[in-house]
Amino acid sequence: MTTYHGSCFCGVVAFEADGDLSQGTMRCNCRFCRKMRYWEMRLPDPDGLRLIKGAEFLAETPRSQDDGMDMHHRFCGRCGTRLWTEGSVAELGGRFVMVCVGALDDIPEADLVAAPIFYADGAHDNWMHPAPETRYL
117 pLDDT higher than 90: yes
Longest dimension (CA), the chain: 40
Q: Do 128 and 91 contact (CB within 8 A), yes or no?
A: yes
pTM listed for this prediction: 0.87
pLDDT of residue 89: 80
Burial class of 75 by CB neighbour count within 10 A (0 to 12, 13 to 18, 19+): buried
Nearest-angstrom CA–CA distance, 34 and 117: 15
User: Which residue has better confidence, 67 or 96?
Assistant: 96
User: Region 91-107: what's the mean pLDDT?
Assistant: 91
User: Which residue has better confidence, 128 or 3?
Assistant: 3
pLDDT of residue 67: 58
pLDDT of residue 66: 58
115 pLDDT higher than 80: yes
Give the Cα-Cα-Cα angle 90, 94, 95 (nearest 5 degrees): 145
The answer regarding whether domain 2-130 maps to CATH 2.170.150.70 reads yes
pLDDT of residue 63: 67
Secondary structure class of 59 (helix, strand, coil): strand
User: Which residue has better confidence, 64 or 6?
Assistant: 6
Per-domain residue ranges of the chain: 2-130
Per-residue pLDDT of 34-82, as tens digits, reads: 888 889 999 999 999 999 999 999 999 876 555 566 789 999 999 999 9
pLDDT of residue 94: 87
